[in-house]
Structure 1
Amino acid sequence: MKALILLRLALASAWNRRYALGLTLLSITLAAALLLGVERLRAGAREGFSSALSGTDLVVGARGSHAHLLLYSVFRIGEPTPNLSWAAAQRIAAHPAVAWTVPISLGDAHRGFPVVGTQPDYFKRYQYGDAQALALTRGRLFDSLFEAVIGASVARELGYTLDQSIVLAHGSPELEGAEHRDKPFRVVGILAPTGTPVDRSVHISLASMEAIHVDWQGGMPLAGLSVPPELVRKFDLTPKTITAQLVGLKHRSDVFRLQRELNTAPGEALSAAMPGVVLDQLWQMLAAGERTLQAVSALVAAVSLAGLMAVILAGLDARRRELAILRSVGARPREVLALLIIEGLGITLAGCLLGLVLLQWAVWLGGAWLQSRFGIVVAGLWPGQDEWLRLAGIVATGLLASLLPAWRAYRLSLADGLSPRL
């Protein structure tokens, strides 16, 4: 009975001070949403990074760093890696344990976007996220020379549409050199957004990649020689080298055996990297940034709870007479203590619940946009165990923040409250 009376008194007192407490409630709500939101974004960014390439068991290239190979061939970041010979790629494709392979050839660019030479199987085999396949929003895949399929970011940022004529340039996006103006390409397809490096890539066939370089040697155009597009088909357009090869196995259990076999094979020096393992290792390098984000969100929550304590403390002087009257009608000091704790705990609980509701609404509203634009897969609507623990931490901190004002009210004497000092 007394607990119910205290709860009613706490609600009435809070309503009487609703404007000041409302601002505190708002700050706790935003702090809780930020603390949980940063954690969800961190987890989503890690998941999106690790699953930028899913469904591929190995990425094979020339001997070198596995991280360098993945960064360049998958994310198009960093210095070019040594090339893999086409003969070696064919031997890998013929291996009894291999189900499929997709070659990737890099080295050219278009207005700051990397050009990827590959085969039509690339669009079926390349998967991201939870085994999601690439899809076209408009057009079709290339099936002839000098046709290109562009990513969603390329189309959006450059304003390209189907049948757009584009000219590729020799060299990486950072070091674009001479343009292949004599062999323009036509955009025949535009891919749906994926939040992966595919969005920022221009895709052409391996034969097209060879075709634009038939009159080049050593990375430079041959002086006095220019082969027109209509004569290019007379040349052998089989690639001599590629940048890397995506490999899918018949049985996932063979991955370690084949990786060891390729890494130690005699002849051409090869590197076979497991994408999931390497991407997890790369993400560990960003751990300092993760901790910084978590620390900032925790500080915001702490500041909001400190504001709650400040509001209750500031309101004590105005409430000294109110609390003294409660004492005079029979309320015990511990009941006054409980009253203020209930108020502080109630505001904290309400802020946590509203923060959770705000976060769920934001996830529902912007989750699909985050995934398509940035590749961040935000977790489902129901909070996970870590989120419940963070909410419990906020509630516990709010309880501690309300103890100091409550203790001060507990120690106020009845006479002090009835005759407050001016």
Structure 2
Amino acid sequence: MLINFAWQSLLARKVTVGLTVLSVTISLLVMLAIQHIKQEAKTSFTKTISGVDLIIGARTGQLNLLMYSIFNVGNATNNISWKSYEKLSQQKEVAWVIPISLGDSHKGFRVLGTTEAYFEHFKYANRRTISFNQGRSFSGTFEAVIGNHIAKKLNYKVGDSITLSHGISAKSFSEHKHNPFTVVGILAPTGTPIDQTVHVRLDGIEAIHKGWQSGVDLSQHANHANHTKTQDLTPTSITAFMVGLNSKLSTFTFQRKVNTYKNEPMLAILPGIALSELWRMMGTVENILAIISWLVLFAALIGLCTIMLAAMRERRHEFSVLRGIGASRWFILSLIQLESLFIVAVSIAISITAMAIGFWAAQDVLISNYGLNISSIKFNFETISTIVLVIGATIITSIIPCISAYREKE
């Protein structure tokens, strides 16, 4: 009876209740969305790389090196020589290396030049290996393996021909038209920047830049691909390389060896420590956003309390009738509390539904533009705790109109 009466009472005040629900819904949506983006961004970044002991590149900030080499964000300040790469990769502490060469793109998607070691040793999400949906790894100079998102976005399949562009902008006027690549493999989805990367061999990167100077093609050979077969395609430099060590105990020793390398200035970073620095930098922003979202919710709950108080005077006759038919004062107090909880419950349901639909609709945009693979919604501990806190705050703020109703009956 009480539940039905509370529901009918709210339906009788559709406009006022509807505006209150809208206010609380927007507040909850902002709060839950901020929490969800924060959690998913951390998960997305953390699972991108696994099992790599060190990342080595030209001397720069460790965050910059991490972002451009792993997350496809930003640009390298300089390259490192192939000779230095070979010398360091042959050190006794090193188990395997993955060289990477960046600087080209295909329709806005970054191109990564590497070797077969990439598919053998690179791992993500708790040491999961890269797998293929279709095709195989590259073996020829002008063969490419594309990420799953690229295949879906551009409707590519194995056997298609693609051309790479100089630079990383979405629109480029400097295309390597004389050296098309054939798609020989499409990777399984990973939820990482791998999905948005075109992978080619290092000698393929070197081949397309033969005859180029300062971003301009000087070769003008229609059969340039045939000319490159007779040339030495050993790279002169690479952007960075990832290292797996024989023993974790040698991590800091080898890092110091790289950082004090005399032949050229280089930087070796531990991915986990670099990510920790990123989270520390983002911590202040996260706290500010959390405070703002809680203040917005607090204002919405105060608005709910104010509306309930304003309705007390209008509902005096309603309460008198209820008392006349035998309703106790606790019945009326429970009625007011239940109405407030109904409003918040509906707001929670709408905000969660809206957030799920919103993130689902924006998934492609977030992946393409920001490299974030954000799921629709997950009911983890933090989300459930927030909902419980909101319900608790609703009960507390509803005490004020309850006290007003209680005094009216004295």
TM-score band (shorter)?
A: 0.7 to 0.9
* Structure 1 counterpart SS, 2:182: strand
Distance in 2 (alpha carbons) for counterparts of 1:238 and 1:107 = 17
**How far 1:166 moved relative to its partner?**
1.9
Q: Check if 1:383 corresponds to 2:380.
A: yes
Q: Check if 1:198 corresponds to 2:194.
A: yes
Q: Check if 1:16 corresponds to 2:8.
A: yes
With the length of structure 1 as denominator, give the TM-score of the two structures: 0.79
User: Residue by residue, what CA displacement relative to the aligned partner does 1:48-104 show, whole Å, maximum 9, x if unpaired?
Assistant: 123322221111012222222222222333333311122221222222222211000
Would the alpha carbon gap of residues 223 and 48 (structure 1) be closer, same or farther in structure 2, given more than 3 Å must change? closer
Larger radius of gyration: 1
Q: Check if 1:76 corresponds to 2:45.
A: no
**How far 1:242 moved relative to its partner?**
0.8
Would the alpha carbon gap of residues 36 and 60 (structure 1) be closer, same or farther in structure 2, given more than 3 Å must change? same
Q: How does 1:44-193 map to 2 (within 5 A)?
A: 44-173=40-169, 176=172, 178-193=174-189
Give the residue type in structure 2 aligned to 1:308. Answer: L
**How far 1:240 moved relative to its partner?**
1.9
**How far 1:362 moved relative to its partner?**
7.5
Residue number in structure 2 paired with 1:398:
394
Distance in 1 (alpha carbons) for counterparts of 2:168 and 2:105 = 6
Give the residue type in structure 2 aligned to 1:42. Answer: K
* Structure 1 counterpart SS, 2:398: helix
Stretch of structure 1 that moved more, 174-183 or 19-28: 19-28
Residue number in structure 1 paired with 2:338:
343
**How far 1:257 moved relative to its partner?**
2.4
Distance in 2 (alpha carbons) for counterparts of 1:358 and 1:168 = 41
Percentage of matched positions with identical amino acids: 34
Would the alpha carbon gap of residues 395 and 63 (structure 1) be closer, same or farther in structure 2, given more than 3 Å must change? same
Stretch of structure 1 that moved more, 30-39 or 90-99: 30-39
User: Residue by residue, what CA displacement relative to the aligned partner does 1:307-355 show, whole Å, maximum 9, x if unpaired?
Assistant: 532453344234313434566788786x477435643564378558857
Aligned residues: 404
Q: Is the 8 A contact 1:112 1:174 kept in 2?
A: yes
Q: Is the 8 A contact 1:61 1:83 kept in 2?
A: yes
**How far 1:123 moved relative to its partner?**
2.1
Residue number in structure 1 paired with 2:224:
228
* Structure 2 counterpart SS, 1:189: strand
Give the residue type in structure 1 aligned to 2:188. Answer: A
Stretch of structure 1 that moved more, 321-330 or 122-131: 321-330
Q: Is the 8 A contact 1:336 1:406 kept in 2?
A: no
Stretch of structure 1 that moved more, 405-414 or 215-224: 215-224
* Structure 2 counterpart SS, 1:248: strand
Stretch of structure 1 that moved more, 40-49 or 353-362: 353-362
Residue number in structure 2 paired with 1:4:
none
Distance in 2 (alpha carbons) for counterparts of 1:406 and 1:219 = 73
Q: Is the 8 A contact 1:340 1:402 kept in 2?
A: no
Stretch of structure 1 that moved more, 268-277 or 314-323: 314-323
Residue number in structure 2 paired with 1:5:
none
Give the residue type in structure 2 aligned to 1:251. Answer: S
Q: For the aligned residues, what is the CA RMSD?
A: 3.9
**How far 1:413 moved relative to its partner?**
5.2
Would the alpha carbon gap of residues 16 and 213 (structure 1) be closer, same or farther in structure 2, given more than 3 Å must change? closer
User: Residue by residue, what CA displacement relative to the aligned partner does 1:177-220 show, whole Å, maximum 9, x if unpaired?
Assistant: 53222222111122233333222222110111122223335655
**How far 1:364 moved relative to its partner?**
13
**247, 260, 266: which is aligned to 2:262?**
266
Residue number in structure 2 paired with 1:210:
206
Q: Check if 1:240 corresponds to 2:252.
A: no
Give the residue type in structure 2 aligned to 1:343. Answer: L
Note the residue ranges of structure 1 that are not aligned, 5 or more in a row: 1-7, 415-422
Residue number in structure 2 paired with 1:417:
none
Note the residue ranges of structure 2 that are not aligned, 5 or more in a row: none
Residue number in structure 1 paired with 2:297:
301
Distance in 2 (alpha carbons) for counterparts of 1:404 and 1:329 = 25
Q: How does 1:284-323 map to 2 (within 5 A)?
A: 284-287=280-283, 289-291=285-287, 293-295=289-291, 297-299=293-295, 301-302=297-298, 304-323=300-319
With the length of structure 2 as denominator, give the TM-score of the two structures: 0.81
* Structure 2 counterpart SS, 1:144: coil
